[in-house]
Amino acid sequence: MTQTPAPLLAPRLASVLGRIDADLDGALARLIDLLSIPSISTDPAYKADCARAADWLVADLRSFGVDAETIATPGHPMVMGHVDGPKDKKTPHLVFYGHYDVQPVDPLNLWASDPFAPAVETTAKGRMIRGRGASDDKGQLMTFVEACRAWVAENGALPCEITFFFEGEEESGSPSLVPFMNEYKERLKGDVALICDTGLFGHDTPAIVTMLRGLMGEEIVIKAADKDLHSGMYGGPSQNPIRVLTRILAGLHDDTGRVTLDGFYDGVPELPADVAAQWQVLGFEHEAFLGEVGLSQPAGEHDRTALEMIWSRPTMEFNGIIGGYTGDGFKTVLPAQASAKVSARLVGTQDPHKIRESLRAYVEAHLPADCTVEFHPHGASPASVMETTHPAFEATRQALSDEWPNEAAFIGCGGSIPIAGYFKKIVGVDALLTGFARDDDAIHSPNEKYDLECFHKGMRSWARILDAVSQG
Amino acid sequence: MTQTPAPLLAPRLASVLGRIDADLDGALARLIDLLSIPSISTDPAYKADCARAADWLVADLRSFGVDAETIATPGHPMVMGHVDGPKDKKTPHLVFYGHYDVQPVDPLNLWASDPFAPAVETTAKGRMIRGRGASDDKGQLMTFVEACRAWVAENGALPCEITFFFEGEEESGSPSLVPFMNEYKERLKGDVALICDTGLFGHDTPAIVTMLRGLMGEEIVIKAADKDLHSGMYGGPSQNPIRVLTRILAGLHDDTGRVTLDGFYDGVPELPADVAAQWQVLGFEHEAFLGEVGLSQPAGEHDRTALEMIWSRPTMEFNGIIGGYTGDGFKTVLPAQASAKVSARLVGTQDPHKIRESLRAYVEAHLPADCTVEFHPHGASPASVMETTHPAFEATRQALSDEWPNEAAFIGCGGSIPIAGYFKKIVGVDALLTGFARDDDAIHSPNEKYDLECFHKGMRSWARILDAVSQG
């Protein structure tokens, strides 16, 4: 694909871009309002805040003519909205997905400011919106909403049929998502699904993600004695669940960084030569990628590049561990239990359920006498490889290339965005994933931010995409 | 040693025992008052409470004529008290040691009642005093104080010179103890040191502990990236401190339960045949000992008995571990750090400092690229083997045998009571350790208790010991 010169803008697009530029402060104020709601979905203490964020979105969509509502689920509510397309012209039906819930904020002491008192900061790296959810995913979600608002304001109506679909459980394993999509399949059946929860490639290169890793999460709780014991009185002949757990976890990787579970690599393909060649062109440098977070050398599987490990290799990671006395000072206790949260990122056709079974069998096989184990599953989604044949993919690639300094790329993504697979499997619709996050946005970490440039150019990108895909 | 028939009681002892029996409710009320002070020494939030407990003891000692005071240290205050012995008779100078600080109470949700709202409960196993410190060590310490109070009330003065010495940092590694004992060496120089911080052997057999394990505590903090990372974006090529830590900890024991550290077993003696024979007679059953806490089979070193492992073998245990997301739900984070509290119980002439160095060298040798480690030491004391030649040992053994159903035994103890070694090394005084805790007292655990019988017979035991050792 050779780069074409930037086309002359259609008047309907030019006016929308102009309005987006002029109303940046308004868009920022709305985003800050949404960011100030602590919609942490994984923590039951924030249930009412999640509902409040959903209601906020419904009110905002209605403010520019979208027929919007919340729909209750056993967990947090979904937000659905709809506008018809023009009657006189054949245009695609777009279904836009984002999520309004956010990650927990601990460790809170590492935040330089209140995560739910968002603000625009001017730094040496430019202006940025600081706060939990600024990038993942409220800021990204609002780039699309703002583009639509500007479009309606300038052109009286959106250029095509659009269904808005916002979830509130993405950061907590999406327990209600599959049943909901099955029940509301007909309303979600568009021509293409747009998902805005990914990032730029490097600083200035927009990207469409066509490979996503899957995810299998499991909590493992090892128990031994029926109470915490004194390590002087009992240390030696008594089982110590921390010792049992660390030994079990340590056995999950061999000395070359490979996962040892039976069948773990079943369905893991070698990277096709053409994809490897595309990625080669991107000029990814692990020194820069890792250097950004204070690291320098690729860990993990020996003889694999860092980019391969992130985009096309599976992992088994330990996301949390706790047991015994963890406060200040020292307590010579043998704890009654210890637990770990473990997750695998999956690629190819790895089966999350089989991997969960294999993990459980391994743990049980390594459990010494007098120990018991409890398992708590947290999500299971296979990897996805997108089809990119729908014309919206090429139109979007061109629109993104027009807005950003560099041409847009089709790339892989190490994260797991199960919704993409569900759109394909449940609704039969291809998912187009694009977004404007940067690697240093610190999503899921303290001091999350979203560059003002990304927010601004993100809105402008969506305006261009709406224009491009609705040319008919 | 054959058991002699219980001797006729001297009148001065008979009246003291009678008063102890008659004033049990008064003694209980005083203990409950002391137990209600949350003197958790390891947690800086309770600093004022530790001072309050020290002041309480000073006031209580003064109430029956002891010349008592608190003495400030860089940490929590020491309590010192003194009474002269009779001028007309040669009697020994006893130095009594106990500690007024207590362990933390987490996990608080496992307590059936407020740990600092102590109360006497009537249960199927008898009446017991429930609360943090009931057994370790406030209840034990007060058995001696109450015996002295009753002695003074009945006989007008104590039967020999006594120095009271109460510490407030025993549960947090005793940072001020050695400097203090060096400074106040002259005041602590008695004929024998009495330490009441140990237990009965089995249910009804009083014991004098003659072997104590040492302790070396170390906190290990592993750090990698400069912030928590998203396991999707970074999982694979980025170091995960939980993975690094679990692998390091898992390498500390081999498959036979032995510690792998270089030089760890230097100075670990095989049990002398005569001691092994004495222990054999005690009829220790690991099924009963472990069954008490919900376990059944000895873990730890293969081919060692449970009693050997507790009394005469060293251990390396993990007392606490934490890293990443440990709240409800799931968070796919690669944490910036993970840490563990590790402690070794030491025997023979194992050198705690050499073992700390060996542990640190091992951790550093196994640290992958991009990881750093911080070490925080928490205490270092070698094991002790007591000399039992002072006549107070045999007098005490006889006095204990008179009070309890079974004859008193000389035994080992898995716990670490560094003060015993310090009395010998710094002050040059042999330490006699006896106490009345039971194995099911749940010291260091939720729902700690002290049997009313132990408190009552403990006071009576000390009255008998005071009588026996001051016969002159």
Distance in angstroms (rounded) separating the CA atoms of residues A51 and A425: 28
The model's pLDDT over B432-455, given as tens digits with 9 standing for 90+, comes to 999 999 988 999 889 999 999 999
B32 and B142 together in one domain: yes
Distance in angstroms (rounded) separating the CA atoms of residues A96 and A83: 12
**Which of A40, A332, A384 is the best residue to mutate to test the B interface, defined by the most B CB atoms within 10 Å of its own CB?**
A332
Q: Identify the closest residue of chain B to A416 by CA–CA distance.
A: B232
Distance in angstroms (rounded) separating the CA atoms of residues B186 and B46: 31
pLDDT at position B273, please?
86
Q: Identify the closest residue of chain A to B339 by CA–CA distance.
A: A326
Q: Checking DSSP bridges between strand A315-324 and strand A337-346, what pairing results, if any?
A: antiparallel
Q: Identify the closest residue of chain B to A417 by CA–CA distance.
A: B232
For B42, the closest of A235, A331, A339 (CB atoms) is A331
Average pLDDT over residues A395-403: 96
B200 and B264 together in one domain: no
Q: Distance from B302 to chain A by nearest Cα, in Å?
A: 10
Distance in angstroms (rounded) separating the CA atoms of residues A56 and A37: 9
Confidence of residue A275 (pLDDT cuts 50, 70, 90): confident
A102 and A194 together in one domain: yes
Q: Distance from B448 to chain A by nearest Cα, in Å?
A: 11
Q: Is residue B305 part of a domain?
A: no
Confidence of residue B93 (pLDDT cuts 50, 70, 90): very high
CB B103 within 8 A of CB A331: yes
Confidence of residue B26 (pLDDT cuts 50, 70, 90): very high
Whether A19 has a pLDDT exceeding 60, the answer reads yes
pLDDT at position A385, please?
85
ipTM comes to 0.75
Confidence of residue A388 (pLDDT cuts 50, 70, 90): confident
Distance in angstroms (rounded) separating the CA atoms of residues A412 and A272: 13
Q: Identify the closest residue of chain A to B103 by CA–CA distance.
A: A331
Q: Is residue A52 part of a domain?
A: yes
Question: Which residues 6+ apart lie within 8 Å of A77 measured at CB?
Answer: A50, A51, A54, A70, A71, A168
Q: Is pLDDT larger for residue B403 or for residue A106? A: B403
- The percent of chain B in helix, strand and coil, each rounded to the nearest 5, is 35, 25, 40
CB atoms within 10 A of CB B113: 13
Query: Domain tally for chain B?
Result: 2
Please name the helix (run of DSSP H) or strand (run of DSSP E) that holds residue A194, with its range, or none: strand A192-195
B323 contacts in A (CB within 8 Å)?
318, 320-322
Whether B229 has a pLDDT exceeding 70, the answer reads yes
- Structure tokens belonging to residue A378: 């947290």
A248 and A206 together in one domain: no
Residue A334 and residue B328: Cβ atoms within 8 Å? no
- Structure tokens belonging to residue B375: 């070490």
CATH number at residue A37: 3.40.630.10
Residue A329 and residue B43: Cβ atoms within 8 Å? yes
Among A347, A365, A380, the domain-final residue is: A380
Q: Is pLDDT larger for residue A95 or for residue B7? A: A95
φ/ψ region of A174 (left if φ > 0, alpha if ψ in -120 to 50, else beta) reads left
The model's pLDDT over A51-60, given as tens digits with 9 standing for 90+, comes to 999 999 999 9
A298 contacts in B (CB within 8 Å)?
237
Number of A to B CB contacts under 8 A, please give it: 356
- Structure tokens belonging to residue A411: 């790339």
B393 and B432 together in one domain: yes
Q: Is pLDDT larger for residue B32 or for residue B409? A: B32
A226 and A206 together in one domain: no
Whether A6 has a pLDDT exceeding 80, the answer reads no
Q: Is residue A294 part of a domain?
A: no
Q: Is residue A343 part of a domain?
A: yes
Q: Mean pLDDT for chain B? A: 94
The model's pLDDT over B278-317, given as tens digits with 9 standing for 90+, comes to 788 888 888 988 998 899 999 999 989 898 898 889 999 9
**Which of B172, B198, B219, B234 is the best residue to mutate to test the A interface, defined by the most A CB atoms within 10 Å of its own CB?**
B234
Please name the helix (run of DSSP H) or strand (run of DSSP E) that holds residue B456, with its range, or none: helix B452-469
Q: Is residue A289 part of a domain?
A: no
Residue B319 and residue A338: Cβ atoms within 8 Å? no
Q: Distance from B239 to chain A by nearest Cα, in Å?
A: 6
Q: Is residue B273 part of a domain?
A: no
**Which of A172, A223, A331 is the best residue to mutate to test the B interface, defined by the most B CB atoms within 10 Å of its own CB?**
A331
Q: Is residue B278 part of a domain?
A: no
Whether B6 has a pLDDT exceeding 70, the answer reads no
Please name the helix (run of DSSP H) or strand (run of DSSP E) that holds residue B457, with its range, or none: helix B452-469
Average pLDDT over residues B236-243: 95
B181 and B247 together in one domain: no
Average pLDDT over residues B19-34: 98
A412 and A452 together in one domain: yes
Average pLDDT over residues B388-398: 92
Q: Is residue B307 part of a domain?
A: no
B86 and B161 together in one domain: yes
Among A328, A361, A380, the domain-final residue is: A380
Average pLDDT over residues B75-99: 96
Q: Identify the closest residue of chain B to A343 by CA–CA distance.
A: B332
Task: Return the closest-CA partner of residue B219 out of B376, B9, B343, B390.
Answer: B376
- Structure tokens belonging to residue A235: 């240390």
Residue A237 and residue B320: Cβ atoms within 8 Å? no
A328 and A433 together in one domain: no
For B317, the closest of A224, A231, A250 (CB atoms) is A231
Q: Identify the closest residue of chain A to B230 by CA–CA distance.
A: A444
For every residue of A239-262, DSSP letters joined together read --HHHHHHHHHHTTB-TTS-B-ST
Question: Which residues 6+ apart lie within 8 Å of A429 measured at CB?
Answer: A95, A188, A189, A190, A191, A192, A193, A423
Distance in angstroms (rounded) separating the CA atoms of residues B375 and B220: 5
CB A170 within 8 A of CB A102: no
CATH number at residue B319: 3.30.70.360
Sign of CA dihedral A45, A51, A56, A61: positive
Q: Distance from A165 to chain B by nearest Cα, in Å?
A: 23
Q: Mean pLDDT for chain A? A: 94
Average pLDDT over residues B200-213: 91
For A237, the closest of B173, B309, B443 (CB atoms) is B309
Among A380, A406, A436, the domain-final residue is: A380
Encoded amino acid at A166, one letter: F
Encoded amino acid at B254, one letter: D
Range of the domain at A370: 214-268+314-380
A125 and A258 together in one domain: no
B247 contacts in A (CB within 8 Å)?
250, 253
A353 and A420 together in one domain: no
The model's pLDDT over A208-266, given as tens digits with 9 standing for 90+, comes to 998 889 999 999 999 999 999 988 889 899 999 999 999 999 999 999 999 999 999 99
Q: Is pLDDT larger for residue A304 or for residue A19? A: A19
**pLDDT over 70 percentage in chain B:** 98
